Amino acid sequence: MTLWSSFKPAFWDHEDVASGPYKHLFNFRRMWKLAVFSTAAVALAPLIFMTVVDYNVNQQAIESDIYYQTARLVSNTRRSISFFLSERRSALNFIDKDNSYQALGDPLRVTALLENLKKGFGGFTDLGVIDDTGLQHTYVGPYNLAGKNYSDQDWFKELRSGEAHISDVFLGLRQQPHLVVSVKHDLPTGCFYVLRASIDTQQFNDLISEVEVSGKGDIFLVNTEGVLQTASRLFGSTLGRIPVTVPAFSDKTRVLEIKSAGEEFITGYAYISGTPFVLMAVKKKSELLKPWNETRKKLVVFLVLSITTILMVILGVSTYLVNQIHAADHKRVMTLHKVEYANKMASLGRLSAGVAHEINNPLAIINEKAGLIKDLISLRNETAADDKLLGLADSVLASVERCANVTKRLLSFARHMDVRLQPLDIEEILREVLGFLGREAEYRSIEVHVAVNPDVPKIESDRGRLQEIFLNLFNNAFAALGDGGRLDVTARRSDAQSITVNVRDTGCGIAQADLKRIFEPFFSTKTERGGTGLGLSITYGLVQEIGGDISVESQVGQGTEFTIRLPLTLESVRKPKHESPVGG
């Protein structure tokens, strides 16, 4: 036996073998395939669509966050470097403002100022004063630069029309990377002089090296020609050249992607105003996206598991539902055969009524003539003592009576098939039925209350069916009630065409799981106490027969309430139903 044979649905090899006009309505295998594929499409399409959308949104959000974090890192570091340079330029401006040109010509005074700069800020290595011809007439530092002329250098030419200048990092005489900060002071005579100081770049390197860069990245300074102004972990030491092009000028912090040696980098950059420096932060994109790649793998695994689970559920549910439809359709075919049989029995009942009626007429004549014969025999002296003749007459009369009883039963059966309508007082019916249960209520101390609103009119209905309906409901209520319980029966006019009767008890109640099956045939919660499960099913059918409807509400431990709506009149009465409803 194969695995498929073990799990193959009951309908898979279905063939319609029903005879007569009652055939199965569906191609169950095709229905199953349609249910599986349509449900899978409806269920999986939104899931896959939302997964793709979520994937793209998350990836864009992560990349946006990387761009934002890089831009913020560059902006914060730029402010630190700008503050570092502005602080030293402001120190030179303060010295310039605080000392006269004559005082700055005194080497001892300039030496004292340099010592104060070293103590206050650090990094200053020398200090010099240059006149407007480019001649450095005062110098304090480790080299003999007094008398050096800078008139032919670019920075001095630029400073003629400016106020301050910050140079690139260069080696100079000391063969150590450093930069120069120069400030110009205009004299009242129209001349000027320049205060010039050299600053060691070690502080620059320390300032930038303290910055933490994610994604195995790096942050460094370059000039506009791509020459490193600070050391770089990725591209080498100071004054080396980076292998990528310096981005175009922008007055704001920018972030872009660049490729170098086959690897993608997220690069943030910012031009530092008033300097030749460009601050660049470079991060490896592959390292930055590692957490997202791990999450992406989990997302794909989750999607595969979800699709697998959904497909399994769809297969299971579709198979179960089509199996149920197959069983219901099979039951329908069987029920149609039963209905056909019931119709035949109804026809037999009508035939029985006709036969009984036709037989009753000759039976009446036979009964009359047999009685007359007996009287004649009794009145004549020669036959009055003939016991045999009297016995024969009595035998004929007994047989007539026996036949009459048979026809009465046939007529009773025929009358049971039809609804007999008559004006009825609903309160009279209720009290009449409760009269049968009076002794039990008294014995078990059950309190019974009947309340009928004065505006409730007489209704046109079948007395016997109403009696059976309420008797079944009252019996169920008494079975659910404990000793000392309460039964409330109320009747009111619900609208112009109907009245409503409520039967409420304070009994044990019905579980919610059982409420939807309460009117099913053979369903009972009292099977251990002899219940057959037909009472409420029959009641439902009787209510339907007289044009009404019935509903139930219940809570475990609090009681149950049946609501019966009955029409005031019946224009046409349906024939009795041959099957009870499934579910409440």
User: Measured between alpha carbons, how far is 334 from 520 in angstroms, rounded to an integer?
Assistant: 17
> Does one domain contain both 398 and 426?
no
Q: How far apart are CA 167 and CA 277, in angstroms?
A: 9
Last residue of a domain, one of 362, 390, 416: 416
Does residue 269 lie within any of the structural domains? yes
Distance, CA of 503 to CA of 510 (rounded, Å):
15
576, 541 contact by CB (below 8 A)? yes
pLDDT of 1: 46
The torsion angles phi and psi of 197, rounded to 5 degrees, stand at -135, 140
CATH code at position 126 = 3.30.450.20
What pLDDT score does 418 carry?
A: 55
Is residue 140 a contact partner of residue 107, using CB atoms and an 8 Å limit? yes
Distance CA 480, CA 500 (A): 22
Tell me, yes or no, whether 194 and 98 share the same domain.
Answer: yes
Which SS3 state, helix, strand or coil, does residue 306 take?
A: helix
- Residue at a domain's end among 390, 416, 442: 416
pLDDT for 272:
92
| 381 part of a folded domain | yes
Shared-domain flag, residues 123 and 217? yes
Is 577 contained in some domain?
Answer: no
Check residue 368 and give its pLDDT.
74
What is the per-residue pLDDT for 579?
Answer: 43
Rounded Cα distance between 441 and 482, Å, is 11
CATH code of the domain in which 470 resides: 3.30.565.10
Cα–Cα distance for residue pair 56/58, rounded to 1 Å:
5
312 falls within a domain? no
Same domain flag for 412 and 433: no
Query: How do 447-452 and 486-495 pair as beta strands?
Result: parallel
Q: What is the 3-state secondary structure (H, E, C) of 36-86?
A: HHHHHHHHHHHHHHHHHHHHHHHHHHHHHHHHHHHHHHHHHHHHHHHHHHH
Q: Is residue 382 part of a domain?
A: yes
Q: What is the pLDDT of residue 175?
A: 80
The tally of domains found in the chain comes to 3
Answer yes or no: do 161 and 241 share one domain. Answer: yes
Place of tokens 């206050």: 120
Non-local (6+) Cβ contacts of 416 within 8 A are 349
Residues 222 and 269 grouped into a single domain: yes
Domain range spanning residue 96? 24-288
Q: Is residue 324 part of a domain?
A: no
In a domain, 120, yes or no: yes
Q: What are phi and psi of 249, to 5 degrees?
A: -60, 140
Over residues 256-285, the pLDDT tens digits come to: 988 877 788 889 999 998 899 999 999 888
Is 305 within a domain?
no
Would you say 244 and 251 are in contact if contact means Cβ atoms under 8 Å apart?
A: no
Same structural domain, 488 and 427: yes
159 and 71, same domain (yes or no) = yes
Alpha-carbon gap, residue 278 to 82, rounded angstroms:
11
**Which residues are within 8 A (CB) of 467 and not within 5 positions of it... i.e. 6 or more apart?**
429, 432, 433
Q: 431 and 390 share a domain?
A: no
The ranges of the chain with pLDDT < 50 are: 1, 16-20, 341, 345, 409, 412-414, 416-417, 530, 532, 572-584
> Same structural domain for residues 151 and 271?
yes
Q: What is the DSSP letter of 529?
A: G
Domain closes at, from 416, 432, 451: 416
One domain, residues 399 and 426: no
Question: 231 and 87, same structural domain?
Answer: yes
Question: What pLDDT score was predicted for residue 574?
Answer: 47
Task: Quote the radius of gyration of the chain (alpha carbons, Å).
Answer: 55
